[in-house]
Amino acid sequence: MDNGEPLEHLDVLVVGAGLSGIGAACRLRQKLPHHTFAVLESRGAIGGTWDLFRYPGVRSDSDMYTLGYSFRPWRGGKAIAQGADIREYVTETAREFGVEERVRFHHRVLAADFSRATARWTVVVERPRAGGGSETVRLTCSFLLSCTGYYRYDEGYTPEFPGAGEFGGRIVHPQHWPTDLDTTGRRVVVIGSGATAVTLVPNLARDAEHVTMLQRSPSWVLALSSRDHLADRLRGRVPEGLAYALVRTKHIALATATYQFTRRWPRRAREVLRERVAARLPEGFDVERHFTPDYDPWDQRVCFVPDGDLFRALRSGRASVVTDGIETFTPTGIRLTSGAELPADVVVTATGLNLLFLGGMALSVDGEPVDPADRVTYKGMMLSGVPNLAFALGYTNASWTLKIDLVTEHVCRLLALMQRRSHRIVVPREPAAGQREPLIDLDSGYVRRAAGLLPSQGGATPWRLHQNYPLDVVGLRHRRVDDTALEFS
């Protein structure tokens, strides 16, 4: 039981042992070897997203030369990698850099309170009790680094579907894929049009009788090769570190240029994406209805199709796309608003995520509750008025890890500066009143649903969250960490 006395004090407490948390731990080990730290993980394994998601074909939606860590080259053969390979990469990195033993599994952070008098966080953690059941314990730390991502691990988002209780088949959500589910020879309907649906359809179509992707509205999609031909040519011919740096730079430049093109010339970007999709589909396919959204590219994420596998499944006839609304589930399938009925034995609700900031931990400062939604982000990594706290959120328009690398580097620089100057507290000042915008600049459903849960961003640096890697390299890696927006004491 929690007796109110902290078990131990650490210099840094990292929350989350996924791609972000392990990367942060490795940076701390490299840059601040004399700092004590631990990694708290609510689940029982390293890997985060890549350990949680086990649905057929789960893979990266970014190339591994940028989703991988800058300090440890990705050695896999494919640029678009399978989830199991990414999980192994993260685990091997933790082992190689000596941080695996710093991870404390089944430790879920419930709350954290910062005391200005002691310059410490007191963190309340739930963990298993040796004799069974669970207990809460307290740890203290000088700096708290949240690497929990931004979605709930215990549940995905599933809308209320009329008649779902009458359906005679099985309804599953990809976030918690049943190990006993066999779709061989069965009729499957995948509800959704995002990255998960685009991944599931071709993988399920290999053995299912038929797979239908049922979407209320389409998403922008783009076929890419799962291999990087430059990486293949360089492998074994130049030193590994140089090859990795060259390929990584290429992908960063290409992603940045593509995003800037789509935002500056959205009409032309729409034409290009539509033409590329049409070229991969059978003649007469209704591209306008099924693959041409009414929003511009990168208003929501663009979905990537490795090696065009989705289009091959559609051409083969083993998969199809239906764009329509759901009127109700029936005992044998789904009746659409058009009156048509889709027969189904299995329905997969690839309907999205529920967002959760800071892993759901309750924050307070000197006992006063802190609502993140009332705060403004500093450099996309700290909250105004909250001392000694940083969080790692990746890009929405590029590889997640590109931003995580920069944030964790910057945190290490900040901690090193505080150590040199004997500072114990750092806090972003409250910004002047002015423009406030949503933290995540996407119009996706999961972002809209969480509008009241996330902090906001300001209109100018350093309160602005730049979805731009070159700008962030300058701001986070090369500029001073002790700017006037921070108060040290």
Integer Cα distance of 312 and 466 in angstroms: 37
Architecture of the structural domain at 164-349: 3-Layer(bba) Sandwich (3.50)
Integer Cα distance of 76 and 97 in angstroms: 19
Model's pTM, two decimal places? Answer: 0.93
Q: With contact defined as beta carbons under 8 Å apart, do 83 and 53 qualify?
A: yes
Q: Which two tokens stand for residue 426?
A: 């750092």
Q: What is the pLDDT of residue 346?
A: 98
Q: With contact defined as beta carbons under 8 Å apart, do 320 and 212 qualify?
A: yes
Same fold, 9-153+354-488 and 164-349: yes
The sign of the dihedral angle between the CA atoms of 126, 129, 135, 136 is: negative
Report which of 61, 68, 105, 62 is spatially closest to residue 86, judged by C-alpha positions.
68
Q: What is the pLDDT of residue 2?
A: 59
Integer Cα distance of 90 and 78 in angstroms: 16
Q: What is the pLDDT of residue 154?
A: 87
Integer Cα distance of 93 and 23 in angstroms: 8
Contact residues for 204 (Cβ-Cβ < 8 A; gap 6+)? 56, 183, 188, 190, 211, 348
Q: What is the pLDDT of residue 1?
A: 43
Architecture of the structural domain at 9-153+354-488: 3-Layer(bba) Sandwich (3.50)
Q: With contact defined as beta carbons under 8 Å apart, do 298 and 265 qualify?
A: no
Count of C-beta atoms within a 10 Å radius of residue 99: 25
Tens place of pLDDT for every residue, the chain, 489 residues? 455 678 899 999 999 999 999 999 999 999 999 999 999 999 999 999 999 999 999 999 899 999 999 999 999 989 999 999 999 999 999 999 999 999 999 999 999 999 999 999 999 999 999 888 999 999 999 999 999 988 888 888 889 999 999 999 999 999 999 999 999 999 999 999 999 999 999 999 999 999 999 999 999 999 999 999 999 999 989 999 999 999 999 999 999 999 999 999 999 999 999 999 999 999 899 999 999 999 999 988 899 999 999 999 999 999 999 999 999 999 999 999 999 999 999 999 999 888 889 999 999 999 999 999 999 999 999 999 999 999 999 998 889 999 999 999 999 999 999 999 999 999 999 888 777 888 877 667 766 776 678 899 998 899 998 888 999 999 999 999 999 999 999
Buried/exposed 43-58: b ≥16 CB within 10 Å, e otherwise: bebbbbbbbbbbbbbb
Q: What is the pLDDT of residue 3?
A: 58
Domain ranges within the chain, ordered by starting residue: 9-153+354-488, 164-349
Integer Cα distance of 97 and 71 in angstroms: 10
Q: Given its phi and psi angles, is residue 481 left (phi above 0), alpha (psi -120 to 50 degrees) or beta?
A: alpha
Q: What is the pLDDT of residue 450?
A: 67
Q: What is the pLDDT of residue 5?
A: 78
* Dihedral angle over CA of 369, 423, 382, 19, nearest 10: -110
| Terminal CA-CA length for the chain | 35
